[in-house]
Amino acid sequence: MTYDLCIIGGGASGLYLASRLANKNVSVILCESGERLGRKLSATGNGQGNVTNLNISEKNYFGSVSVSDKLLLNKDLLSVFPMLFTADKLGRVYPAGRQASALTDALRRIVTTASNIEVRLSSKAVRLESGFVIHLQNGEKIYADKLALCAGGKAQKQFGTDGNAYAMASRFGHKISPLYPSLVQLKTPTDKIKTLKGLRANGKVKATQNGKVLGEAYGDIIFADYGVTGNAIFAISAFVSGKENVELQLSFLPDVAEKDIAESVRKKIELGYERSELLSGTLNNQIGRMIMKTAGSTPEQIASAVKNFILPVLGTLSFDYAQVTKGGITGEGINENLESKYAKGLYFAGEILDVDGECGGYNLHWAFSSAAVVAEAILRNKRDI
């Protein structure tokens, strides 16, 4: 049998694409290499599933694929899920029950009960031929008129995403931009911060490259033996991953005026405090002492050091720790329907493309919205025949 469409990858984008085609006049086979569908989707948002953000715009995305409003602003995106969603004060949207597995279960139910969709688990695609012929690892061949490559990126290979599918796209002439881990811990020199290992501070992180501001993030900054982690660091990593000569500027009291910090230091000097104790009570003692090792001597210089603690970025931890892949199949080879310009009928959705989003639901939003665009193109095409 020749299917109308073969979807490779049963993760967020592949499952979502299949769900948009459920019970439509198109025969679909979905091949997932793992034993279960949606393994990574079930682990998202610390198990709570941060599906989208109320503030979605092109500005939240990086990469060479043009992420237009058409791709992003699909008002019906979450209507496929039979559940309620709520947003937190940062605009991050979650299922009201705060369980990512509910998202996977909902998509799995739609897809596995649809009359037109066949799901194959433990079915890894290893080679593609034009036409399309999909060669599975077990030697089986699948024939399909159209093909959607939804095999994800390289982040956290325990979810089946080891980057194997990029080579299958290259086979059709697609270029792959350099791949970097993103939404990930950052490596920094540890000489200044080694006394702080395990300590959590709340603050602002600004990333700069040769004086130019790349981005800012607020939240937890956690010190580790390789550098820094925490939600502010994950967020800022989207701006710095893959770049050279980047510095982090940590502000431990972002909402307090520098003159007020200077004033409290001045009072302590008048009271005869030791230099190492001048920030006690203002900051965590260990952080205060660490800052005092390099700060200047005047209250103003000390206050400035509290707001501008510099850590150069040496790199990131590996893909094993990252939430997403920066880089992927580049934009020049695909059209606005995310169809290949080199192989008609070959579509892409999700993280395999050279698109990555900021922290806060933007990556699942991309997985779903890109899949929705592919689904519409396939249905339109079917009607036109």
For residue 248, the minimal CB distance to ligand FAD (Å) is: 22
For residue 362, the minimal CB distance to ligand FAD (Å) is: 6
Residues 190-209 that bind ligand FAD (CB under 6 A): none
Q: In this complex, which beta carbon is closest to ligand FAD, that of residue 104 or of residue 208?
A: 104
Backbone angles phi, psi at 354, to 5 degrees: -80, 70
Q: Which of 60, 156, 208, 241 binds ligand FAD (CB under 6 A)?
A: 156
Which part of the chain contacts ligand FAD (CB under 6 A), choosing from 6-14, 20-28, 239-247, 286-294? 6-14
150 touching ligand FAD, by CB under 6 A: yes
**H or E element in which residue 41 lies:** helix 39-43
Q: In this complex, which beta carbon is closest to ligand FAD, that of residue 220 or of residue 247?
A: 220
Q: In this complex, which beta carbon is closest to ligand FAD, that of residue 43 or of residue 90?
A: 43
Q: Which of 184, 224, 182, 218 is nearest to 200 (CA)?
A: 224
For residue 135, the minimal CB distance to ligand FAD (Å) is: 10
- Buried (b) or exposed (e) across 224-240, using 16+ Cβ within 10 A? bebbbbbbbbbbbbbbb
32 touching ligand FAD, by CB under 6 A: yes
Three-state DSSP class for residue 27: coil
144 touching ligand FAD, by CB under 6 A: no
Q: Which amino acid is at 315?
A: G
**H or E element in which residue 287 lies:** helix 285-294
Residues 38-97 that bind ligand FAD (CB under 6 A): 39-41, 43-45, 50
* 203-206 CB contacts, 8 Å cutoff, 24+ apart: 203/232, 203/250, 203/251, 203/252, 203/253, 203/254, 204/232, 204/250, 204/251, 204/254, 205/232, 205/233, 205/235, 205/236, 205/248, 205/249, 205/250, 205/251, 206/236, 206/248, 206/249, 206/251
161 touching ligand FAD, by CB under 6 A: yes
110 contacts 79 by C-beta, under 8 angstroms: no
Encoded one letter per residue, x for contact with ligand FAD by CB under 6 A and - for no contact, window 343-362 reads -------xxx--------xx
Q: In this complex, which beta carbon is closest to ligand FAD, that of residue 101 or of residue 363?
A: 363
Q: In this complex, which beta carbon is closest to ligand FAD, that of residue 190 or of residue 369?
A: 369
What does the DSSP assignment read for 228-273?
A: EESHHHHHHHHHHTT-SSEEEEEESSTTS-HHHHHHHHHHHHHTT-
Neighbours of 69 (CB within 10 A): 10
Backbone angles phi, psi at 348, to 5 degrees: -135, 145
For residue 45, the minimal CB distance to ligand FAD (Å) is: 3
Q: In this complex, which beta carbon is closest to ligand FAD, that of residue 12 or of residue 246?
A: 12
152 touching ligand FAD, by CB under 6 A: yes
Residues 316-335 that bind ligand FAD (CB under 6 A): 323-324
8 touching ligand FAD, by CB under 6 A: yes
Residue nearest to ligand FAD (CB): 11
Q: Which residues contact 171 (CB under 8 A, 6 or more apart)?
A: 127, 128
Interface with ligand FAD (CB under 6 A), residue total 40
Point out which residues bind ligand FAD (CB under 6 A): 8-14, 31-34, 39-41, 43-45, 50, 124-125, 150-152, 155-156, 159-161, 164-165, 323-324, 350-352, 361-364, 367
